[in-house]
């Protein structure tokens, strides 16, 4: 039942990602239909990302109040309405309104799925399933690149976007039918188990790696609360740690995948369109390996999750520096390393949601997850804007060359520095809060020494 619920919600998220990326593959047709330059198309990406980011907190609060099922159903209907409008209109302002609707619908999907995972699965499994949610969701991009593109080229604009609208309505039905916010009947629940949960009080959070996590089916349905969920969440340093984790690690991937990657690879590095899409495919395949590996490491070493984040950040920075410093096009292997590093960074961004999960009580998880998600999308907007700004400054007429991209992508240093400062400050505050709750994070050197000692004793788990 847990996998049916997760699978149905995940399918709705895949369709949301298809909607998000559909205009990207229909760029030429959109430029033609709305009589705009290819460069103005970036306006659609910016509007959509801004709407997505702005909707996260309201959607998160709504999730805590009404649950994932209703939010997913309404979100899929709004997304379908946006695609239908886009299918029918021929003017730019109406197309932008359609894209706003798509952005709002899209904003509901990912965090609704993440809200379901800890409700249906034991805490040990949550990191891997969160990573799988991100990875499987990314396949929505393949649906827009292959079947959607085929309908677009074979039958035209209106049938292609009407098909996406139909898919959205279908997913609303699937979510209504199969998604449940939490297990209803609780076989094996004893009065004691429920009393244990009650004894933790309203503000109990999932313990970090103590092994004492309560199986989800024993957790009572949280009562809808009147008290302000957002103000409590923003006062929780662990939620900020999640926010800055997502901020620091998601934007390099979004900047590359959503807008500037293909122009950089083709106009800057001199690759064919086919070679550029092969690189994007390698990046998607890398996620299938890196996501579960990260999930397992998160479960096994919950006290060291921030080092996974800093490691992924270091990897992507080194990969970008090694590509941008030389003034000549890079060999293929180096570009492969770059796209793998970008995937590692996107994978690490999901650790942000895990920080939220172990920092706030279950009945505020939707709000906290929304807040974390804002981080990555605000940073993505900033980065996409800065790269575009530098390109405009160095070559106002377009026709970019490698040197223009070298300068433009260096602008990512701004969100990287801001994100790293925020991450380190939030980590310090989170450790203080954890210490107040009786969990002290030992220094890395001490933890490694203990782990080596434990191996010598035949034990496998970090203390
Ligand atoms: N962290 C991403 C999901 C992802 C991408 N690659 C691996 N995981 C994220 O937060 N996505 C939000 C969304 O709505 O897609």
Spans of all domains in the chain: 1-182, 226-458
Q: List C-alpha distances in Å: 270 to 262, 342, 358, 366, 399.
A: 11, 20, 46, 44, 13
Output b/e per residue, 37-65; b: 16+ Cβ within 10 A: eeeebbebbbbbbebbbbbbbebbbbbbe
380-411 confidence digits (pLDDT tens) = 999 999 998 999 899 887 789 999 999 999 99
Atom of ligand 1 nearest to the CA of 349: 1
Tokens of 340: 């793998």
| Ligand 1 touching residue 250 (CB < 6 A) | yes
| Distance between Cα 347 and ligand 1 center (Å) | 8
| Distance between Cα 420 and ligand 1 center (Å) | 19
| Ligand 1 touching residue 350 (CB < 6 A) | yes
| Distance between Cα 196 and ligand 1 center (Å) | 34
Cα dihedral 81, 87, 91, 95 sign:
positive
> Distance between CA atoms of 20 and 303, rounded to whole angstroms?
35
> Distance between CA atoms of 383 and 387, rounded to whole angstroms?
6
Residue 460 confidence class, pLDDT cut points 50, 70, 90:
very low
| Ligand 1 touching residue 373 (CB < 6 A) | yes
> What pLDDT does 197 receive?
40
| Distance between Cα 239 and ligand 1 center (Å) | 17
Task: Tell the residue number behind the tokens 């999932």, with chain if given.
Answer: 206
The more confident residue out of 447 and 101 is 101
**Long-range contacts for 200-208 (Cβ within 8 Å, ≥24 apart)?**
202/361, 202/363, 203/361, 204/361, 205/358, 205/359, 205/360, 205/361, 205/437, 206/118, 206/123, 206/357, 206/358, 206/362, 207/358, 207/439, 208/302, 208/303, 208/358, 208/434, 208/439
| Ligand 1 touching residue 130 (CB < 6 A) | no
Atom 14 of ligand 1 has which residue's CA nearest to it?
A: 110
> Would the pLDDT of 439 be above 80?
no
> What pLDDT does 273 receive?
85
Residue 223 confidence class, pLDDT cut points 50, 70, 90:
very low
For the domain made up of 1-182, the CATH class stated in words is mainly alpha
Q: List C-alpha distances in Å: 252 to 53, 205, 257, 325.
A: 16, 31, 9, 17
**What secondary structure letter does DSSP report for 458?**
T
| Ligand 1 touching residue 383 (CB < 6 A) | no
The candidate with the shortest Cα–Cα distance to 107, out of 78, 142, 150, is: 78
| Ligand 1 touching residue 352 (CB < 6 A) | no
| Ligand 1 touching residue 140 (CB < 6 A) | no
Write the burial class of residue 241 (CB in 10 Å: 0-12 exposed, 13-18 middle, 19+ buried).
buried
| Distance between Cα 343 and ligand 1 center (Å) | 10
> What pTM value is reported for the model?
0.86
Atom 4 of ligand 1 has which residue's CA nearest to it?
A: 134
| Distance between Cα 219 and ligand 1 center (Å) | 27
ipTM of model over 0.90 = yes
> Would the pLDDT of 147 be above 80?
yes
Atom 12 of ligand 1 has which residue's CA nearest to it?
A: 110
Atom of ligand 1 nearest to the CA of 17: 15
User: Candidates 10, 350, 353, 357: which one to mutate for ligand 1, based on the most atoms within 8 Å of Cβ?
Assistant: 350
| Distance between Cα 134 and ligand 1 center (Å) | 5
Same fold, 1-182 and 226-458: yes
| Ligand 1 touching residue 137 (CB < 6 A) | yes
Atom 15 of ligand 1 has which residue's CA nearest to it?
A: 110
Atom 11 of ligand 1 has which residue's CA nearest to it?
A: 134
> What pLDDT does 230 receive?
86
Read off the pLDDT of each residue in 80-109 and give the average, rounded to a whole number. Answer: 95
> What pLDDT does 214 receive?
41
| Ligand 1 touching residue 347 (CB < 6 A) | yes
Atom 9 of ligand 1 has which residue's CA nearest to it?
A: 134
> Would the pLDDT of 37 be above 90?
no
User: Candidates 131, 252, 292, 346: which one to mutate for ligand 1, based on the most atoms within 8 Å of Cβ?
Assistant: 346
Tokens of 374: 């804002």
| Ligand 1 touching residue 376 (CB < 6 A) | yes
Mean pLDDT of the chain: 87
| Distance between Cα 291 and ligand 1 center (Å) | 11
Tokens of 116: 């379901």
Atom 3 of ligand 1 has which residue's CA nearest to it?
A: 134
Atom of ligand 1 nearest to the CA of 110: 14
| Ligand 1 touching residue 138 (CB < 6 A) | yes
224-279 confidence digits (pLDDT tens) = 444 567 888 999 999 999 999 999 999 999 999 888 998 899 999 999 988 988 89
Q: Which fold has domain 226-458?
A: Growth Hormone; Chain: A; (1.20.1250)
266-285 confidence digits (pLDDT tens) = 999 999 988 988 898 888 88
């Amino acid at each position: 039942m847990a996998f049916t619920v997760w699978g149905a919600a995940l399918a709705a998220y895949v369709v949301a990602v298809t909607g998000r990326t559909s205009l990207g593959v229909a760029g030429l047709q959109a430029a033609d239909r709305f009589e705009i330059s290819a460069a103005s198309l970036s306006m659609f990406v910016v509007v959509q990302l801004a709407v997505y980011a702005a909707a996260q907190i309201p959607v998160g609060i709504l999730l805590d109040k009404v649950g994932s099922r209703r939010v997913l159903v309404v979100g899929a209907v709004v997304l379908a309405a946006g695609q239908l409008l886009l299918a029918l209109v021929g003017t730019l302002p109406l197309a932008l309104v359609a894209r706003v609707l798509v952005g709002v619908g899209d904003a509901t999907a990912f965090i609704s799925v993440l809200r379901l995972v800890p409700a249906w699965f034991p805490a040990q499994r949550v990191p891997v399933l969160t990573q799988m949610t991100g990875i499987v969701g990314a396949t929505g991009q393949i649906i827009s690149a292959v079947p959607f593109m085929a309908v677009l080229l074979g039958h035209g604009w209106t049938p292609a976007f009407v098909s996406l609208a139909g898919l959205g309505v279908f997913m609303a039905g699937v979510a209504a039918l199969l998604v449940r916010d939490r297990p209803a009947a609780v076989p094996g629940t004893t009065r004691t188990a429920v009393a244990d949960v009650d004894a933790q009080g309203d503000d109990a959070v999932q313990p970090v790696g103590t092994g004492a996590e309560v199986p989800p089916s024993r957790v009572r349905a949280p009562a809808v609360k009147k008290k302000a969920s957002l103000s409590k969440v923003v006062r929780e340093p662990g939620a900020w740690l999640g926010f800055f984790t997502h901020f620091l690690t998601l934007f390099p991937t979004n900047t590359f995948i959503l807008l500037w990657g293909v122009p950089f690879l083709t106009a800057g590095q001199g690759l064919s369109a086919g070679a550029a899409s092969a690189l994007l495919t390698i990046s998607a395949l890398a996620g299938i390996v890196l996501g579960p590996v990260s999930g397992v490491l998160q479960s096994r070493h919950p006290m060291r999750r921030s080092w996974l984040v800093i490691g992924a950040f270091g990897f992507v920075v080194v990969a970008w520096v090694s590509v941008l410093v030389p003034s000549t096009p890079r060999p293929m292997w180096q570009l492969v390393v770059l796209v793998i590093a970008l995937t590692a960074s996107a994978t690490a961004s999901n650790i942000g949601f895990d920080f939220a999960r172990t920092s706030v009580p279950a009945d505020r998880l939707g709000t906290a997850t929304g807040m974390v998600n804002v981080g990555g999308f605000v940073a993505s907007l900033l980065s996409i804007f800065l790269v575009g700004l530098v390109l405009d400054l160095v070559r106002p007429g377009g026709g970019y060359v490698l040197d223009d991209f070298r300068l433009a992508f260096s602008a990512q240093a701004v969100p990287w520095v801001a994100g790293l400062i925020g991450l380190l400050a939030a980590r310090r505050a989170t450790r203080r809060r954890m210490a107040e709750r009786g969990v002290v994070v030992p220094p890395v050197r001490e933890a490694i020494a203990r782990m080596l000692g434990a191996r010598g004793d035949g034990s496998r788990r970090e203390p």
